[in-house]
Structure 1
């Protein structure tokens, strides 16, 4: 038995009729096996008609044949997919703005939550929430909305029981869309300037559907159901599957369709697979705006000067204290423990001999370990790139 999503199309205007319909079809299938309370996970009835419930495979197949049921599919785990960017795309600070009109725009962010204390989300200078707003601030423990973040809900069962962002993705995407202008922002001291969102005067409603393990289908549909009824003007949904799904099995497609019917545009990330051909895009519904990543005209580079005088350029961030220092270089495969050179070559956990790495720059074929090089007391890390496309790692501080 597992969780299934049962999608039943548009909801009747009478919410009682929607509830009765859901109860009736579910009781016909589960019969006396379990109670309704034990089987039902969620009911979607504000903006469309559907439910999430625990079923056996046989019950799911039977339910899919019943009148009024559009689709039945298993609950799935979906995944989350610089200040110079706006200038590069021709949307600089000098573009004429309409703060009064923009302040009436509500952007719903279906993501991993939000961190309300960040300067990007300060409500200084904001007036009351737009009158059309029908939502609520149900952010959970230690969470307070303001005139910028006018609404928050959470659906995950994370220990925090809060709409707070656990991994930073939700705060990142929300600030990209509508973050305030924040002066003196930088990336480890580099690229200093003013960071801002596309529409700094807009309001934000955060719907947390993702935790560190991913984003469940049943929660994503619940967020769509609430957001549409809450009165958002636009939805940003930067999450999805690793590949495109049939429209009848795609919760983002279902939710965005009903948003479109209400005049709400859903902006969905195209995917995280890079330039892998026509199947790289996972967001294919015709009623959504699918957005892919763009290049930019700025790179943060670091130079490595070898002992023979040859200089190598790479994408990197390093402290200024490295200037003028000569450090020995060691290859990961030659500083392994447990007789496992392949794992050491990829900086895998517990495969580096700290006696051979300490105070040196370690060179790896791939970088899949988070802090293994730091734990082994390496002074720096260099990752080889033998691919036609650039490889990248997430910068992390190692002190």
Structure 2
């Protein structure tokens, strides 16, 4: 069983396409509960479904279907971040007490949105110690999160939410907590605080 994407061209100018997408595979989708993963009606017309390769072949022959192709799961990694940021050479970071990098005012009033694998609030990159009080205009919110998000992490985050795993794939955690590390890595790179004594597996201790 794999994710299959069925592309049906441009989106219709009006009307919902979800019912059409459900009816297109006919009895195939009715035989398997939750086979239809998502319908696309903005920009393009199509749908994603959990199907075996032999089951996808008849759909490709249906009228109105332009193409059918697998939509594999790509696992993100963090091994190229420094190269992407061009920090592999000539990077100097001063973490002394008098360093400008140590000022918590850096990036103040900046809201960063991250759509990723979640965030692990216990990371020292999100420690709000010594930060100024939460502004009255701050609208922090959490979804399906334990109290630690509210107590320790709310100031660093405007909103934490998650996509219902029933809409995406089986086996995903029902929480915005990061279970694989990529979301925490990206969020801390964009908006994390300085962590004295941080290292990479004991190397490059600052």
Measure, in 2, the Cα distance between the counterparts of 1:94 and 1:153. 35
Cα distance, 1:32–1:185 mapped onto 2, change above 3 Å? closer
Q: Tell me the CA shift for residue 120 of structure 1.
A: 1.3
3-state secondary structure, aligned to 1:167: coil
Confirm or deny: 8 A CA contact 1:113 1:170 kept in the other structure: yes
Q: Tell me the CA shift for residue 178 of structure 1.
A: 1.9
Confirm or deny: 8 A CA contact 1:109 1:174 kept in the other structure: no
- The one-character-per-residue Cα deviations of 1:99-121 (angstroms, maximum 9, x if unpaired) are 587633323242x3220122212
1:108 aligns with 2:120: no
What runs of 5+ residues in structure 1 fail to find an aligned partner?
194-399
3-state secondary structure, aligned to 2:189: helix
Confirm or deny: 8 A CA contact 2:11 2:44 kept in the other structure: yes
3-state secondary structure, aligned to 2:27: coil
Task: List aligned pairs for 1:205-220, cutoff 5 A.
Answer: none
3-state secondary structure, aligned to 2:113: strand
1:118 aligns with 2:118: no
Aligned length: 178
1:162 aligns with 2:175: yes
Higher relative contact order (CA 8 A, sep 6+): 2
Q: Tell me the CA shift for residue 88 of structure 1.
A: 3.4
Give the structure 1 partner of residue 143 of structure 2: 138
Give the structure 2 partner of residue 58 of structure 1: 57
What runs of 5+ residues in structure 2 fail to find an aligned partner?
none
TM-score (ref. length: structure 2): 0.59
**Aligned to 1:181, which of 164, 183, 194?**
194
Cα distance, 1:79–1:176 mapped onto 2, change above 3 Å? same
Larger Cα Rg: Structure 1 or Structure 2? 1
**Aligned to 1:151, which of 133, 148, 160?**
160
Q: 1 or 2, which has the higher strand percentage? A: 1
Give the structure 2 partner of residue 41 of structure 1: 37
TM-score (ref. length: structure 1): 0.35
Measure, in 2, the Cα distance between the counterparts of 1:151 and 1:10. 33
Q: Tell me the CA shift for residue 12 of structure 1.
A: 6.6
Q: Tell me the CA shift for residue 3 of structure 1.
A: 3.0
Measure, in 2, the Cα distance between the counterparts of 1:153 and 1:115. 13
3-state secondary structure, aligned to 2:3: strand
Cα distance, 1:168–1:101 mapped onto 2, change above 3 Å? closer
